[in-house]
Structure 1
Amino acid sequence: MTDLDVTRTAAEVLGWSRAAVDPPLRAAVARLPASVRGIAAYHLGWSDEHGGPTGADAGKALRPALALLAAGVVGGTAEQALPAAVAVELVHNFSLLHDDVMDGDTTRRHRPTAWSVFGANPAILAGDSLLVLALDVLADSGRPAAGLLAAAVQRLIDGQSADLSFERRADVRPEECVRMAEDKTGALVGASCALGALFGGGRADQVDRLRRFGEGVGLAFQFVDDLLGIWGDPEVTGKPVHSDLRNRKKSLPVVAALNSDDEAGRELRALYHRAGPLSEADLARAAHLVESCGARAWSQARADDLLARATTHLRAAGPGERAARELDALARLATRRDH
């Protein structure tokens, strides 16, 4: 048996991906203007607020790993897909910098968010700079890939806009919330897989199959992430327990529960739309009501179904059996996290 026959675990793939992407990612960020470079380095976990090196959590880098493996599925190499992997990681972190400002989140990856350290406006500018840098990385590669990424970013922005609009509404329907998640999360995960396949030399049909695989995985990921936003262990999520409920977010399980016609749904609507902050007891009660409505089980069932459907696209995408097995394992890890 050769090394090429050995399928790595999802954790091993993430470690391999991080090691491969980190040097070109650091080289790209070094090109940023000095005014935002330190903020980006802090957000990425490379430095403290004074610029000193640190070993802070830089995130799992799921999207770059998907790009690298997608190249292998279509018969290419991970090295070919490095520009794609760097670009999607830059875009993802652009979105996180902006999300933290818009949501008012003060903790990410177990430490203060960039905006809470450097201010909201500098953090927004740092996010803007990461987005432009992502397009520069693709332009430097010589591949006609910027349009694919730009389209995904437009969908991401549209999804984030819908998410913000939900905060001002009391009548959000589950199907609206699903569409929002398809754009806000699914689009970039789909683009990560599609870009990897494109850089790996994949045919148009293979690129499309992997895009559809990624979009399904991305939506499943959002269902699970929203569960973590309510019941996640702070040691895993880096955020306080019940953080989404505290912020009155209209997440997928919450919207499903708010639309429930039973007693638990009615009580949750009264609690969620009540003026003033929710106490710890209120938050615990809200979480119990969401689960009593069946929304917790519904969300996990939807995630499982989306993953099964996505896998059919992966099987049809290409001959790279080892890469496909590892891509499938990575998708399952992302959608079955502890919660």
Structure 2
Amino acid sequence: MIRQSTADTTTQALPMRLFRSADDRRQAKALQGELDLIEAMLVENLGFASAVADAPARYLAEAGGKRIRPMLTVLTSQLGDGPNELVRRAAVAVEMTHLASLYHDDVMDDATLRRGVPASQVVWSNSVAILAGDLLFARASSLVAGMGEDAILLQARTFERLCLGQLHETVGPQPEDEHIAHYIQVLADKTGALISTAARMGVMFGGGSAEHADAVTEYGERIGVAFQLIDDVIDLSPKKDRTGKRAGTDLRAGVATLPLLLLRNRAAAGDTEAQALLTRIDAGVKAIAEGADLSVMDPEVDALYTHEVTRETEATAKRWADDAVAALDVLPKSSVKRGLERMAESIVSREG
């Protein structure tokens, strides 16, 4: 039996947030109707000819999610003739690709939670989680296969970038790499690539122009980077504790996010305050790795959150979002353009 996806309620408010005028809100209702159709298609396509496969394959979709990528596909399709069966199919394929990547990410990161529920490998095993992700990648490819050569090539290149981003994150920067540039490229590949594909497919299959497709592709990549940079800030925020998640999860695990990379740069440049905080952070990460309680780093998480490098991270995210909006200059004034602008704004104003 398939339980109702919490995404049914999670996505309800999203379109309305992107539109403010009365005319635009009528379009928001139509957008919501399309998202409901896409959600039903997603659930249908998460069924496999095996009861053993169905439960893990549906697990993360049923846990919820904002469905930002399908919403972007539907929205950009309105730069042409609007949603149709191919647009909906593209939206499902993109969301399924995103879900597949989450299974693999959680295994590689040894995550315990995803979307408020135990991560899939905690419920089953690493092997089952990896195979569930593989099944979703395969099904997404099957959906795209009948949509033409351009769609197949775009899906393949996007998958390649997802893999490269994960590989570069796993291996880390090489001696010749500038660490922050390397980090931003990882974000662009792991997050920006799929969001830009979601936007581009909407224009492609909605009958829009090549000029508009190029514009929303650049927009999608940039808001993807902005999204992840704001996540770096949210991870440190004390407000995260209110959701039941401990602030500073990445920092305690020794994961390099932009605030930490900026702190390391300041320390290397001779900033004694940065050096002292970095020494404490490194000691805390080592202690936790050796079995100390996570709370041992509470003071360091607070200190990094209030440090100038975190404000610098927020400003960097804002610049990426501003550049995303600037990429839309070629689009005509419309509710679609206003919705895309509002999406960029909402991404950098998130608090959780």
TM-score normalised over the length of structure 1: 0.85
- Going from structure 1 to structure 2, the CA distance change for 1:337 and 1:16 (only over 3 Å counts) comes to farther
For 1:218-233, list aligned pairs within 5 A. 218-231=224-237, 233=239
**Which is helix-richer, 1 or 2?**
2
Deviations 1:126-149 (A, max 9, x none): 001111111111123456302112
Whether the 8 Å CA contact 1:162–1:180 is kept in 2: the answer is yes
Identity of aligned residues (%): 29
After the TM superposition, which of the residue ranges 97-106 and 147-156 deviates more from structure 2?
147-156
Match of 1:188 among 185, 194, 199: 194
- Going from structure 1 to structure 2, the CA distance change for 1:18 and 1:167 (only over 3 Å counts) comes to farther
Please say if 1:86 is aligned against 2:86.
no
Partner of 1:48: none
Partner of 1:119: 125
Partner of 1:52: none
After the TM superposition, which of the residue ranges 228-237 and 285-294 deviates more from structure 2?
228-237
Whether the 8 Å CA contact 1:265–1:293 is kept in 2: the answer is no
- Going from structure 1 to structure 2, the CA distance change for 1:232 and 1:220 (only over 3 Å counts) comes to farther
Please say if 1:276 is aligned against 2:287.
yes
- Going from structure 1 to structure 2, the CA distance change for 1:314 and 1:89 (only over 3 Å counts) comes to same
Residues matched between the structures, number: 323
Whether the 8 Å CA contact 2:86–2:147 is kept in 1: the answer is no
Partner of 1:70: 76
Please say if 1:303 is aligned against 2:314.
no
Whether the 8 Å CA contact 1:9–1:329 is kept in 2: the answer is no
Whether the 8 Å CA contact 2:96–2:140 is kept in 1: the answer is yes
After the TM superposition, which of the residue ranges 36-45 and 210-219 deviates more from structure 2?
36-45
Question: What is the rounded CA distance, in whole Å, between the counterparts of 2:339 and 2:178 in structure 1?
Answer: 37
Please say if 1:328 is aligned against 2:341.
yes
Question: CA offset at residue 27 of structure 1?
Answer: 1.4
Q: Counterpart amino acid of 2:325?
A: T
Question: What is the rounded CA distance, in whole Å, between the counterparts of 1:188 and 1:213 in structure 2?
Answer: 12
> The residue matched to 2:266 in structure 1 has which SS?
coil
Question: What is the rounded CA distance, in whole Å, between the counterparts of 1:85 and 1:196 in structure 2?
Answer: 8
Question: What is the rounded CA distance, in whole Å, between the counterparts of 2:111 and 2:86 in structure 1?
Answer: 36
After the TM superposition, which of the residue ranges 89-98 and 10-19 deviates more from structure 2?
10-19
TM-score normalised over the length of structure 2: 0.82
Whether the 8 Å CA contact 2:56–2:132 is kept in 1: the answer is yes
Gap regions ≥5 residues in structure 1: 46-56
Partner of 1:27: 44
- Going from structure 1 to structure 2, the CA distance change for 1:232 and 1:116 (only over 3 Å counts) comes to farther
Whether the 8 Å CA contact 1:13–1:65 is kept in 2: the answer is no
Q: Relative contact order, CA 8 A, sep 6+: which one is greater?
A: 1
Q: Counterpart amino acid of 1:207?
A: A
Question: CA offset at residue 166 of structure 1?
Answer: 3.1
Aligned CA RMSD, in angstroms, stands at 2.9
- Going from structure 1 to structure 2, the CA distance change for 1:78 and 1:227 (only over 3 Å counts) comes to farther
Question: CA offset at residue 225 of structure 1?
Answer: 1.3
Task: Name segments (4+ residues, structure 1) moved above 6 Å.
Answer: 9-14, 235-238
- Going from structure 1 to structure 2, the CA distance change for 1:259 and 1:111 (only over 3 Å counts) comes to same
Gap regions ≥5 residues in structure 2: 1-20
Partner of 2:210: 204
Question: What is the rounded CA distance, in whole Å, between the counterparts of 2:75 and 2:252 in structure 1?
Answer: 37
Deviations 1:223-267 (A, max 9, x none): 011212222644787743221112211112221222222234213
Q: Counterpart amino acid of 2:280?
A: L
> The residue matched to 2:89 in structure 1 has which SS?
helix
Q: Counterpart amino acid of 1:299?
A: T
- Going from structure 1 to structure 2, the CA distance change for 1:248 and 1:305 (only over 3 Å counts) comes to same
